[in-house]
Amino acid sequence: MSFAERCGLNSPERQADCVQLLQQVEASGIELIRLGWCDLHGVVRGKTIVASQLRQALANGIGMVSTLLLKDSSDRTAFKVFEPGIEETLPGFAGASNFTLMPDPASWHVLPWTEKTGWLQCQPFFADGRIVPLDSRHVLQQAVLRLAERGWQMRCGLEVEFHIYRLKDPLHGADLDPDRAAWPGPAPEVSLIHPGYNLLTEAWMDRSEEPLRIVQRTAQALGLPLISLEIELGPSQVEAVFDVRDVLTAADHMVLFRNATRQALRRAGYHATFMCRPPFEHIMSSGWHLHQSVCELTTGSNVFMRDAAASGLGALDAKQVLSDVGASWLAGLLAHAPALTALCTSTSNGYGRFRPNAMAPQSILWGRDNRGAMLRVIGAPGDSASRIENRLGEPAANPYLYMASQIHAGLAGVDAQLQAPPATETPYSAGAATIPSSLADAVRALQKDTALCQALGQPFVDYYSTIKQAEHQRMAQAEDAQEFHRREYFGRI
């Protein structure tokens, strides 16, 4: 019996995909295949095999040390896997045992920035064929099943802000100096691609065209639904906007986009970072704005759309814009916002973004087409594109956890028939509950949120909290906080 059969992956559809892929690889002259897996921090890890080993990998996977699931953002293992008691805390992880990465043949991509190399997305399984439940993609898959049981599907559009810099010395920079190697190593030395503070200006777009062309061509070669590339307000800051897809596909696209963008730009002498606040004095924070709606699986109709204007309600009532289900989903996102923050803004670096009058949220509020509110509601009765834009996220967040958190909080609101407060028109006024001010505060809020702990599973919440607390503690103990952010995030995400 193959390992794929033991995992329950040997469906007729997968078998057909495997046969087609093997034929395609042989005909195309592909030489190397990267087997990639998204870790807790949204970073792609994996192994590279020669093409002749693809058949074996599709049938039986490839081994991976289990501690890759236990790393904090510096790549230190946050659990003591060689000490007694680990099997009770994390069954299956004792002794840094092996897991098996199983490739999905339907995820095949030929990488456009390197020669004769393909890429397959993988997920980890225990030796007995059970999927590893702590895998972040599995967490989203479980959330998707909750929606499907109601006949629903979540759809997401992505607006991703990030920074692109020009490397001062691509071949011999500080991060490549063997005498300066450390854990984590020094950040690369960079210069700007545009000076900033001139939002959407065409002149800055022209100055940035070379790296943005690389982003464009890479994304389109990978089949990603890129809509636009834009100049953001901050120096060297840009934004990519992607069309709507089902939630799991959208999360996969985000993982692939970040990974591909960084690699393709690095080969051309540029450095892309998806950290929220690069470690320079004059920057603007980057956000990841997640547009979300729910549709009927059978008809595709938008569950959030209100058919007709509500009567007897004030202009700031959520039910003037959204259906009853959509309004309760909105209320669920608000009610669970402190806990959601730990999954939407998942690095210590991201919490400097929540400042007043900065086109970023500060308080737990919603508004009608208001970019200062945490949740921006867009649409009108009869508008099939009615949706909620969550502006809480940072571009470094794990996409699977960001999106799973929205589903669980939204459904909690729907099940409890929560009612949203009136929309804000002044999102930075005093008096409203504020977003957690640190990763540690957000993690504590997650641990106290009964509904999310139940939906995600207490073992996952405990695991996630341990790793994120380790990250926060190292930042709090750092002698130079700015240098911590340079090494921890700037050169790595």
- The angle at the Cα of 429, spanning 424 to 430, to the nearest 5 degrees, equals 120
pLDDT digits (tens, 9 = 90+) for 430-470: 999 999 999 999 999 999 999 999 999 999 999 999 999 99
Q: What is the pLDDT of residue 453?
A: 98
Instruction: Indicate yes or no: pTM above 0.95.
Output: yes
Across the chain, how many H-helices and E-strands are there? Answer: 15, 15
Q: In this structure, what token pair is assigned to residue 70? A: 């236990």
Gap between the Cα atoms of 191 and 168, Å rounded: 7
Q: What is the pLDDT of residue 312?
A: 82
Q: Which two tokens stand for residue 458?
A: 């207490």
Phi-psi group of 112: left, alpha or beta (phi > 0 → left; psi -120 to 50 → alpha; rest → beta): alpha
- The single-letter code of the amino acid at 477 is Q
Q: Are 426 and 356 in contact (CB under 8 A)?
A: no
Q: Structure tokens of 109?
A: 């991509």
The total of other beta-carbon atoms located within 10 Å of residue 45's CB is 16
Q: Which two tokens stand for residue 291?
A: 């547009």
Strand pairing category for 32-38 and 117-125:
parallel
What's the CA angle centered on 121, arms 291 and 341, to 5 degrees?
35
* Cis bond before residue 184 (omega within 30° of 0): yes
Report yes or no: 398 and 408 within 8 Å, Cβ to Cβ.
no
Please report the sign of the dihedral spanned by the C-alpha atoms of residue 37, residue 438, residue 329, residue 226: negative
* φ/ψ (deg, to 5) at 444: -60, -40
Q: What size, in residues, is the chain?
A: 493
Between CA 66 and CA 19 the distance in angstroms is: 29
Q: For residue 145, which amino acid is it?
A: L
Question: Can you read off the two tokens belonging to residue 405?
Answer: 């958190």
Whole-number pLDDT of residue 356: 87
Q: Are the CB atoms for 191 and 224 separated by under 8 Å?
A: no
* Superfamily for domain range 3-132: Glutamine synthetase, N-terminal domain (3.10.20.70)
Residue 170, SS3 per DSSP: coil
pLDDT of residue 142: 98
Q: How far apart are CA 335 and CA 365, in angstroms?
A: 10
Nearest to 403 by CA among 157, 63, 173: 157
* Rounded CA separation 44/400 (Å): 13
Please answer whether residues 384 and 393 qualify as being in contact, where contact means their C-beta atoms are separated by less than 8 angstroms.
Answer: no
In the chain, CATH 3.30.590.10 sits at: 145-490
The per-residue pLDDT for 100 is: 98
Find where tokens 């010395």 sit: 169
Tell me the mean pLDDT per 10 residues along the chain, length 493: 95 96 97 98 97 98 97 94 92 94 98 98 97 98 98 98 97 91 94 97 98 98 98 98 98 98 98 97 96 97 93 90 97 98 97 90 97 96 97 98 98 98 95 95 98 98 97 91 93 92
* β strands within 249-332, DSSP E: 270-273, 288-296
The count of C-alpha atoms lying within 13 angstroms of the C-alpha of 16, restricted to the half-sphere facing its C-beta, is 3
Give the other-Cβ count within 10 Å of 381's Cβ. 16
Distance CA 462, CA 482 (A): 29
DSSP three-state, residue 63: strand
Looking at residue 92, its pLDDT comes to 93
Q: Give start-end residues of each CATH 3.10.20.70 domain in the chain.
A: 3-132
Residue 210, helix vs strand vs coil: helix
* Helices 337-344 + 458-477 axis angle, to 10: 70
CB atoms under 10 Å from CB of 352, counted, come to 16
Please identify, in words, the CATH class of the domain defined by 145-490: alpha beta
Rounded Cα distance between 258 and 396, Å, is 9
- Give the number of other CB atoms < 10 A from CB of residue 435: 25
Cα distance between residue 438 and residue 419, in whole Å: 28
SS3 322: strand
- Cα–Cα distances in angstroms (integers) from residue 159 to residues 108, 162, 316, in the given order: 24, 10, 26
Cβ burial of 441 (10 Å; 0-12, 13-18, 19+) is middle
Instruction: Tell me how far the alpha carbon of residue 489 is from its chain's centroid.
Output: 15
Cα–Cα distance for residue pair 305/461, rounded to 1 Å? 33
